[in-house]
Structure 1
């Protein structure tokens, strides 16, 4: 594994500067040199400070007037050219890679985050920020939901007995309305403006409810549970008594369900090692056994030989059902019908070194731009854990009907700490998709696709590559079960089995 220290990007070489200057037209130079003068420049404002910094940087601090001004103009012209031109030396966002890497590498637990704990709520199973980043909600083992101000680390409120059993997942529908689900088989809707009581309770599952998603286009709430059912709830018509719902899909050994950011696909992971992908998703249709398009198990391909081992992670307090799947050997499932919507693809994602051993997919997340899926997998032997990134391969040529689409390709992976058996570890992407926060024993690891925290699309390997460790932080006294990035601040949070929540922010 690589060390967690990022490498600084190199300064632009003189020959590249000369090439760009020679290729630029006269009009470009005029445009760059005729920059507007800041109205604050004459009063010691920001414009004066920036100009002084440019002169100091280019003049070596000697303060020679014309020469410093000329050098500053030349540097400014080069920056402008980088902005207006195209190519690898142009995109200004690339300059932010080094800054973001330094920020994330300096992340440390906030000194007051030790207060984010009580003696009553038990293990932390899930963390969720509101879309505007103003509230952090915590799903707890002992029926409670905690709410914190993530900026001040201040406890806002505790929803005592939010459910009758452990709370598993929280999902915000907007900045004020959120949903919780529980092992009591119910889903509850809450309003931040009135937390003294639930908006409504939703009944429909027959077993523990583990996952909540929300389709912003149709305003359908989508839930999944250990009863194998995926149920849609029409929040457009909810009342105090609930809202209309219907069973959308059913599969055995269901673990996690996710919708892609554009809600065009649904991914479902199972404890038997299958990953189901519903393409061209239409949540208004209910799918019954026998109405699917071609269903056939198939391993997602590796692009190179991997190293040894598999992975382990279990169900949040509950052990994973590891019964053998009836279609484990790749036999085709029942398949009829040719509906153009909700076509189903069944894969067994391959893990390096696990070709001859089964695996269980326990945690499932999606890249915020919909480019890839992030899996936490375990071997059936329960002896190792892996985090794997699979790229969506869109636009592949049509395949014969008897052949699977095989739309995923393993691009990155890393071995995880094999601790906390029997518990699911929920990992997550950063809002920009450049980093992965992964529970790692009694702490968390920040993982990236390269040392500069580059975009996945910019560092796609030809052969399967290792994820790079940017930083490891050990701040808990028990196994970390969940992590989450803030959508608006340079901050993330983690929660552990003993009930402590830690907040992390840059520390200089």
Structure 2
């Protein structure tokens, strides 16, 4: 193992730290009373500001792996699994960074995500629309292949609380899989949510919140998550329509009828939108939850595809009083209804809505050979859009009955609280490819792909935990160290070990690089 010749770039003089580890060892027998307040911050700053790349043996025959789209450590930090564009899954020993196994045809298309379910089993998902369950002790074949999604599967989460695996795909659906119960032909799953424009989905560690990123410039928090009732609670709710109502200053009764889902007193599956970004965000492509569930870090691109930004948003529950004025009333512009020219029993429609059903997705044939990770350049064709009655014209008994009992809700549109705490502009490179961010295990650091390298970002110059430095107004993330040009191509994935001060990154050119502190 030889050290890399070039050193990481130090950013100004912000990472200087006079902490001596000999002093740390000397004070260790004294216990916590021997350390001053803020000592942990000094240790973290010293370690993270001295992260350094080191060389290992290169991957054998790595040219056919393509991009390293996702990296995941095992729960004990001993193994690393890489998901590859070339359909492979690679396993590494995290102690010596050696490749110990591989599955050359893990899927029929690129592998997008890896998720460990326990210390022996992990799941993978792919653009071939399937999810597979693997045992690290016998990788010649997968344990199960799960079918249900009808488009590229991009996310796998594990809910410890509910003991189910949760997946999301570009078909707009979120499924909950009970891995202990299956039919003769397949495992049983529940379709817990369906929406247009779904991009990414993540769960907090305790399973109390679900965060959804969209292709329409906003995110959704589902507070007090209850997967068992989610499908019932959000049935017929269309987030894209409600968002359209917010940004167009128009009021549609077909949407305001769901205002109760936003109520701060709601105890189960409460909805909240996040729309404050430092730019005109369009596609929110990457999403990661803080290890303590305090915040979410996302990466977005604007509509012109010439800017990329990383943003941090607080997702914690807030006092109900904060929501008291988070709404607006919009006067309806009700058009005069013309004399009916069609049979009176035919319901009029007056609003085009971009929604499509899963059945329409399933019946829509696509050429798998044309699928790639480039989500913006490969705009697949969708079936025709549906039509909804906004409730402004025509007779709709269900709307009228509801608004007769709740007249104050008809013209009321919920507005969104500011949630952003930190942000930073990224390099706009690798057009069309998703760049996966990650948190360190202690939550102090965000690792962000940065051209052909990575950079470590902190919430302030002291590398404090987020709870100690929440700003009154959004602040720019602080660059602790940049590690540039260690890859031969654009970096698209990175991951911190859950147990050690160890970092790994992967690029579009099949390379995987390892980093650790050198002090």
Q: TM-score, normalised by structure 1?
A: 0.74
Q: 1:396 to 1:147 in 2, by over 3 A?
A: same
What number of residue pairs does the alignment pair up? 413
How far apart, CA to CA, are the structure 2 residues paired with 1:52 and 1:415?
39
Q: 1:53 to 1:276 in 2, by over 3 A?
A: closer
SS in 2 for 1:413: strand
1:275 is aligned, of 200, 204, 219, to 219
SS in 2 for 1:235: strand
SS in 2 for 1:102: helix
- Paired residue for 2:306? 383
Q: What pairs up with 1:121-132 in 2 under 5 angstroms?
A: 121-132=65-76
- Paired residue for 1:484? 495
Unaligned runs of 5+ in 1: 12-48, 55-74, 84-88, 300-324
Q: What pairs up with 1:13-162 in 2 under 5 angstroms?
A: 89-90=36-37, 94-112=38-56, 114-115=58-59, 118-162=62-106
Q: 1:172 to 1:80 in 2, by over 3 A?
A: closer
For CA contacts below 8 A with separation 6 or more, give which structure has more relative contact order: 2
Counterpart contact for 1:389–1:411, Cα < 8 Å: yes
- Paired residue for 1:422? 432
Q: Which is higher, the Rg of structure 1 or of structure 2?
A: 1
Q: 1:502 to 1:51 in 2, by over 3 A?
A: closer
- After TM superposition, give the deviation of residue 450 of structure 1 in Å: 1.4
Unaligned runs of 5+ in 2: 1-9, 325-408
How far apart, CA to CA, are the structure 1 residues paired with 2:487 and 2:25?
46
1:6 is aligned, of 3, 15, 20, to 15
Between 1:98-107 and 1:427-436, the stretch displaced more is 98-107
How far apart, CA to CA, are the structure 1 residues paired with 2:12 and 2:144?
49
SS in 1 for 2:42: helix
Q: 1:340 to 1:297 in 2, by over 3 A?
A: farther
SS in 1 for 2:285: strand
Q: 1:330 to 1:497 in 2, by over 3 A?
A: farther
SS in 2 for 1:119: helix
- Paired residue for 2:150? 206
Q: What pairs up with 1:168-317 in 2 under 5 angstroms?
A: 168-238=112-182, 241-287=185-231, 291=235
- After TM superposition, give the deviation of residue 488 of structure 1 in Å: 0.8
- After TM superposition, give the deviation of residue 274 of structure 1 in Å: 1.9
Q: 1:51 to 1:176 in 2, by over 3 A?
A: closer
- Paired residue for 1:396? 319
- After TM superposition, give the deviation of residue 104 of structure 1 in Å: 1.8
SS in 1 for 2:180: helix
- Paired residue for 1:371? 294
Counterpart contact for 2:85–2:109, Cα < 8 Å: yes
Q: 1:132 to 1:358 in 2, by over 3 A?
A: closer
How far apart, CA to CA, are the structure 2 residues paired with 1:327 and 1:168?
33
How far apart, CA to CA, are the structure 2 residues paired with 1:477 and 1:275?
33
How far apart, CA to CA, are the structure 1 residues paired with 2:24 and 2:145?
60
How far apart, CA to CA, are the structure 1 residues paired with 2:228 and 2:163?
11
Q: What pairs up with 1:457-468 in 2 under 5 angstroms?
A: 457-468=467-478
Q: TM-score, normalised by structure 2?
A: 0.73
How far apart, CA to CA, are the structure 2 residues paired with 1:467 and 1:241?
49
- After TM superposition, give the deviation of residue 280 of structure 1 in Å: 1.4
SS in 1 for 2:441: coil
- Paired residue for 1:502? 513
CA RMSD of aligned residues (A): 3.1
Q: 1:342 to 1:362 in 2, by over 3 A?
A: same
SS in 1 for 2:62: coil
- After TM superposition, give the deviation of residue 347 of structure 1 in Å: 3.1
